[in-house]
Amino acid sequence: MTPTPATGSADAAGGADLQSSGSPLGRRLDALLERLRPIHMVVIFAVFVVFVGGVGVVGFTLLADSALGKEHGRLSAVAAMKAQQLASWQEEHLAAVTLLAKNQVFRELLTPVRMRDLDNWHERLAAWYDDQRVTFWLADTRENAGFISAEILKPDGETLIGTGTPPYTRDLIRPVVDAVIATGESLFIDIQPGKNGLPFMAFAARIPDVGNTQALALVFSLGIVEHLLPMVEQWPNPSRTGRLWLFRQRAGAIDLVNPRGKGDAILAVSPQERRQPIFQAIERGDGLYHGADLRGQEVVAAVRRVHNLPWWISVQMDSAELMEPIRTLAGASALMVLLAVVA
C-alpha cells in the first residue's frame, strides 16, 4: 500500500507557523488601522464640507453681486429715465406756449383787442368779439394742458386778457415780462410759492408786435402739487419703499420739491444732514449713493441732474428692501449646501 502525501496538512501547518510567527506585528497593524480609520473618515468628511462650503460661498458671492448689480442698475435706469422725462416735459410746455404766442391767427385776433385798449380802435363790437375768441382760446388751452392760469400781459405787467386765477403777484411777474419782451426769448419761471401758499411754475413767451404797438407777453402758470408731483412720484416698478424726490440747491439749504408725508410741498433741508444722498450728489455729481433719508432709514439712491434745469431727481429705495433678493439667495444657497452635505 502506497502512502498518500499529507499535502493539506503540511500547508496548514506552514500557514499556522507563519501566522504564529507574524501575529504580533499583524495585530499591531490591524490595531493601528482600526484607530486611523475614523480619523481618516473625519478628515475626508471635513475636506468635503470645506470644499462644498467654499463652492457655495463663491457661487453665492457671484450671484449676490449679480443680483445687487441688477438692483443698482434698475435704480440708475429709473433715475435717468425720470430726468429725461422731466427735461422733455419742461421743453414741451415751453415750446407749446411759444408756438401759441407766435401763431399768426392768434396774433391777428389780438390786434383789435390791443388797439381798443389803446383807444385806437373804434369798431368796439368787432374788438369785443375778438376778445371773446381770444379768451376762449386761452381757456381751452389752459384746461386741456392743466394750467392754473393763462394771461396776456402788457409791458407794464397788467393783464390785457386772462383766464383762471394767476398764482403770482405783479411784482414777481413784471421782471419776467420785461425780460421776455426785451430779449424775445421764452422763459421758464422756476418753482415759486404762490399767493395761496401752493407752489407753481410758469412759462412765458413774447407775442411779437401787434398792430404796430409794443409786444406783449403770454404767460401760463402750472400747479406743482396737481401736475408735476404726480408725474415725479410715479414709480415705474413695483416697490414698497421706492421713492422719487425732486430737489434743487439754493443758498444754505436744499429744497425738496415733493417730500411725501410732509405737510409742505416744498421742504427746506438743512445742510447738516450730510449723510443724505441728495447732499452727497450735490457735492459729487450724478451717481449711486448710500445714506440715511429724512426718516433716518438707510437707503440706496441713484441721483441724476435734469438737463437745462436747476433740478435733480433722486430715485431711492430702502436698503432692507434692496437686500431682500440677497437674503433669499443666501437662504437658498445654505439649503443647497446642507442638502449636498447630508446626501
CA distance 202 to 220: 6
Please tell me the predicted confidence (pLDDT) of residue 166: 92
List CB contacts of 232: < 8 A, sequence separation 6 or more. 82, 86, 244, 246, 257, 258, 313
Q: What's the rounded mean pLDDT across residues 4-22?
A: 46
Amino acid at 119: D
Contact 189, 94 (CB under 8 A): no
Domains 29-91+235-343 and 102-223 share a fold: yes
Whether residue 109 is predicted with pLDDT greater than 90 in this model: the reply is no
Q: What's the rounded mean pLDDT across residues 255-270?
A: 65
- Give the model confidence (pLDDT) of 318-338 as tens digits: 877 766 666 666 666 666 656
Contact 107, 208 (CB under 8 A): yes
- Judged by DSSP in three states, 290 sits in strand
Please tell me the predicted confidence (pLDDT) of residue 230: 80
Q: Is the pTM of this model over 0.85?
A: no
- Give the model confidence (pLDDT) of 164-186 as tens digits: 999 998 889 999 999 999 998 99
Per-residue confidence band for 15, with pLDDT thresholds at 50, 70 and 90: very low
Q: 195 — phi, psi (to 5°)?
A: -65, -30
**Domain at 102-223: CATH architecture:** 2-Layer Sandwich (3.30)
The alpha-helical segments, DSSP class H, found in the chain are 7-101, 104-117, 124-145, 170-183, 229-233, 277-284, 319-322, 324-342
Reading the block at residue 20, the C-alpha cell is: 504564529
Whether residue 205 is predicted with pLDDT greater than 50 in this model: the reply is yes
Q: Which among 172, 129, 155, 275 is positioned nearest to 207, based on CA atoms?
A: 155
Please tell me the predicted confidence (pLDDT) of residue 265: 63
Domain 29-91+235-343 adopts which CATH fold?
Answer: Beta-Lactamase (3.30.450)
Please tell me the predicted confidence (pLDDT) of residue 332: 62
- Judged by DSSP in three states, 2 sits in coil
CA distances in angstroms from 214 to 115, 178, 211, listed in the order given? 11, 12, 8
Please tell me the predicted confidence (pLDDT) of residue 194: 84
Amino acid at 315: V
Q: Where are the domains of the chain?
A: 29-91+235-343, 102-223
- Give the model confidence (pLDDT) of 52-75 as tens digits: 566 556 565 665 566 667 777 788
